[in-house]
Amino acid sequence: MRTKTRIAALIAASALALAGCSSNDEKSDSGEGDGGANGDGITIGVKFDQPGLGLKDGSEFKGFDIDVAKYLAKELGYEEDQITFVESVSAQRENMLENGQADLIVATYSITDERKERVSFAGPYFVAGQGLLVAEGEADISGPDSLDGKTLCSVSGSTPAQRIKDEHSEGVQLQEAQGYSECVELLSSGAVDAVTTDDIILAGFAAQDKYAGKLKLVGKPFSEELYGVGVAKGSDMCEQVNEALTKMIDDGTWEKAVKDNLGDAYTPNPDTNPPAPGGNCG
Ligand code: GLU
């Protein structure tokens, strides 16, 4: 009798576990993962609105960061259908890693000392620089020092927004959005004068058909943004991710992913790319 009850309980438990798995799979493109760390899969935070980098297109995910994420998942022992992509907007990335809502974040995520107090980073795997995107006909704005009296859009919780506040805020009005697609829409409708973030992100937008001939990048990059893969602070996955990033660079997949996703739209700075991953796990 006792054994039978125990077997029944075991069957019920495994049915529950199976149900848990399948609901996790179904969520794979819904944007609501539940932290793959405790399940059979891996949950990766990415951007959903950045063409060329992290873009949700129907049920598909595309971009350089998506290719990096897929490569890492494979190296960590996951099949592609075990990946749950969740949206990680700039301001939520540290929170998501701290709360276990994502196992990895691959989302144009700059390694900074401030962020390293809360999370660890594998990488860097890419080096970009802050830039400015303006309307094709804009004649006044040529760099961060010619923004006086202008309205500028950037994203809350991002390093470019912070840099404008810290170093260029006099005379410029900063409007903060949740994501860069919102900023670029505001720019193309004339509601703001410029958008600032990493040059690679701006180039990805400028290359979209709908903005052809309407937007341009101006000036030289005015920061170094070292992209890292965010993991929970002290996670032992960090060094494994560094190894996988190094392998991706060495076997040519990194270069192919840059070309496939950004093509003629953007050429990485050859002095800083590809970087050597490592040194940010602590
Ligand atoms: N790389 C910068 C950052 O991590 C800007 C891009 C972004 O907001 O994702 O804040």
- Among 64, 116, 176, 225, name the best residue to mutate to test ligand 1's pocket (greatest count of ligand atoms within 8 A of Cβ): 225
Q: Do the Cβ atoms of 199 and 131 come closer than 8 Å?
A: yes
> Does residue 34 carry a pLDDT above 50?
no
Kindly report each contact of residues 207-214 with a partner whose C-beta sits within 8 Å and lies 24 or more positions away, as own/partner.
207/51, 207/52, 207/262, 207/263, 207/264, 207/265, 207/266, 208/51, 211/184, 213/136, 214/135, 214/136, 214/188
- Cα Rg of the chain (Å, integer): 21
Residue 22's Cα: distance from chain center in Å? 26
CB-based pocket (< 6 A), ligand 1: 90, 107-110, 155, 158-160, 197-198, 225
47 near 87, Cβ under 8 Å? Answer: yes
pLDDT per position as a tens digit, 93-152: 999 999 999 999 999 999 999 999 999 999 999 999 999 999 999 999 999 999 999 999
The answer, as to whether pTM is greater than 0.85, is yes
pLDDT exceeding 90 applies to what percent of the chain?
Answer: 82
- In this structure, the residue with its CA closest to atom 9 of ligand 1 is 108
The atom of ligand 1 lying closest to the CA of 90 is: 8
- Which atom in ligand 1 lies closest to the alpha carbon of residue 162? 10
Calpha distance 72→46 (Å, rounded): 13
Phi then psi for residue 39, to 5 deg, are -110, -155
Q: Which of 198, 202, 205 to mutate to test the pocket of ligand 1 (most atoms within 8 A of CB)?
A: 198
pLDDT for 258 equals 98
Residues 6+ apart with CB under 8 A from 74: 80
Q: What is the pLDDT of residue 105?
A: 98
